[in-house]
Amino acid sequence: MKIKELFKYGRPVISLEIFPPKPESPVETILDTIDALSDLKPDFISVTYGAGGSSKSHTIEIANLIKNKYNVEALAHLTCINSKKSDIDRVLGELKGYDVDNVLALRGDLPQDGSFDFTAKRDFGYAKDLVNYIKEKNDFCIAGACYPEGHIENSDIISDLHNLKCKVDTGVDFLITQLFFDNNLFYNFKEKVDLLGIDIPISAGIMPVINKKQIERITKLCGASIPLKFRRIMDKYEYNPEALKDAGVAYATEQIIDLLSFGIDGIHLYSMNRPDIARGIFNQIENIRTVKVASSY
């Protein structure tokens, strides 16, 4: 099933993200995690592609498991910056073979070690090129990434938004945001994309804090800001994992309830492969998640 159809039911689409095990670990090591996460009845589960050192090769296999073993809709992430058209054809062919109809079309991060050759001729320069390529040849529901605080490489927020508009116009069906910890950043962003005429559904990417160092590493890489209220929590409970977990679940839940009451189309929880954390949050929104997006009561 194409995920874009889920947004038409009028209630918020609640999804989860997982990352594959390292290449040297067998794919079976993630089965317990998917088992526990699918128990929460998410609308879909997405699986990352080569992000944070995780394996690209496992992504397709895991998307297949999510869809066909656990009967949950799967969204396979796919990056293009270092891929040839033939690589993309192979991945798309395998996904279709497994009945996975949904792809998050990404450019992928550039290597930070200065090794990236900007002058080299490549099949894909931006995510938009991948969207275009998928659209031309295949019948997938295509998701795209967006950045409430702007993409880290582009300090000009206006040009970043115009690039987003081009990507969406090329054929993106829905967007998922980068993580953010202050909902006002999202509301300001939403105002701008509305003005630009971007009217596809947007899911808010929410990451619960469970480890201070991990959040600091991720935010440094992606440029997301850490508000004072959030930093205080990390500083206060840094050395007490149980307290930090409680506070992290509470903070993320508060963010999500605020976004849902705003009428957001969807919430995408970066689960960090921690079903206990996802369960803590899902338990708090069990009744809230079924209330219609456009309804105010």
Residue 289 touching ligand FAD (CB under 6 A)? no
CA dist., res. 67 & res. 196, Å (int): 35
Q: Phi and psi for 69 in degrees, rounded to 5?
A: -95, -40
| Interface pattern 83-112 for ligand FAD (x via CB under 6 A) | -----------------------xxxx---
Among the listed ranges 32-40, 84-92, 125-133, 235-243, the one in contact with ligand FAD (CB under 6 A) is 125-133
Q: Figure out which of the listed residues 44, 49, 181, 230 binds ligand FAD, where binding follows CB under 6 A.
A: 49
Q: For residues 178 and 291, what is the distance between their CA atoms, to the nearest angstrom?
A: 24
Interaction of residue 176 with ligand FAD, rule CB under 6 A: yes
67 forms part of the interface with ligand FAD (CB under 6 A) = no
Q: Exposed, middle or buried by CB within 10 Å (0-12, 13-18, 19+), for 57?
A: exposed
Q: Tokens 């803590």 identify what position?
A: 280
Which pair of tokens denotes residue 196? Answer: 């630009």
In the complex, minimum distance from the CB of residue 255 to ligand FAD, in angstroms, rounded to a whole number: 16
The one segment of 45-53, 94-102, 193-201, 237-245 that binds ligand FAD by CB under 6 A: 45-53
Nearest partner of 140 among 211, 192, 63, judged by Cα: 63
Question: H-type helices in the chain, by residue range?
Answer: 31-38, 57-64, 85-97, 127-137, 157-171, 183-195, 212-222, 228-237, 241-262, 275-284
- With binding defined as CB under 6 A, does residue 272 bind ligand FAD? no
* Residues paired with 13 in a beta bridge: 266
Helices then strands, counting H and E runs in the chain, come out as: 10, 8
Is residue 267 part of the contact set for ligand FAD (CB under 6 A)? no
Q: Does 77 bind ligand FAD (CB under 6 A)?
A: yes
Q: Nearest approach, Cβ of 264 to ligand FAD (angstroms)?
A: 15
**Does residue 58 bind ligand FAD (CB under 6 A)?**
no
Inter-residue contact 105 to 172 (CB < 8 Å): yes
Is 73 an annotated catalytic residue?
Answer: no
Of 11, 58, 67, 167, the residue at the interface with ligand FAD (CB under 6 A) is 167
CB of 23 to ligand FAD, least distance (A): 14
**Matching residue, tokens 């998050």:** 104
Shortest gap between Cβ of 187 and ligand FAD (angstroms)? Answer: 18
User: Contact 266/7 with Cβ under 8 angstroms?
Assistant: yes
CB of 175 to ligand FAD, least distance (A): 8
Burial class (CB in 10 A: 0-12, 13-18, 19+), 173: buried
Nearer to ligand FAD, 104 or 260 (CB): 104
* CB 56, CB 91: distance < 8 Å: no
Name which of 141 and 145 has its Cβ closer to ligand FAD.
Answer: 145
Query: What would the x/- binding string for ligand FAD be over residues 140 to 159, using CB under 6 A?
Result: -----x-----x-xx-----
Q: Which residues participate in catalysis according to the annotation? A: 17
**What are the residues binding ligand FAD (CB under 6 A)?**
48-51, 77, 79, 106-109, 126-128, 145, 151, 153-154, 160, 163, 167, 176, 178, 205
